[in-house]
Amino acid sequence: MKALLVQCLEIKNNMNPFKNHRGVGDTVEAMTSATGIKGIVEAGAKAFNKPCGCEGRRKTLNDLFPYGKREKK
């Protein structure tokens, strides 16, 4: 019975789409990609020949709102 419970928990953890997210920035990126917003923004940035700033925004949000324990500086 214990082995079955452990196996179920491992399956559940592997199905978690937010497992590798370091912070809010990663989650926002996943949501905008899933909804198609990211593609629209990237197309607009390409049309106007300007960077969209997505990577910098993701990093800033991850630094401001990390998941888990914060590292002491």
pLDDT at 66: 95
DSSP 72: P
What is the predicted pLDDT for the residue at 13? 63
54 pLDDT higher than 60: yes
Question: If we measure between CA atoms, which residue out of 51, 3, 53, 62 comes closest to residue 28?
Answer: 62
Per residue in 17-42, pLDDT (tens digit) is 677 899 999 999 999 999 999 999 99
pLDDT value at position 20? Answer: 84
pLDDT value at residue 37: 94
Cα distance between residue 62 and residue 32, in whole Å: 15
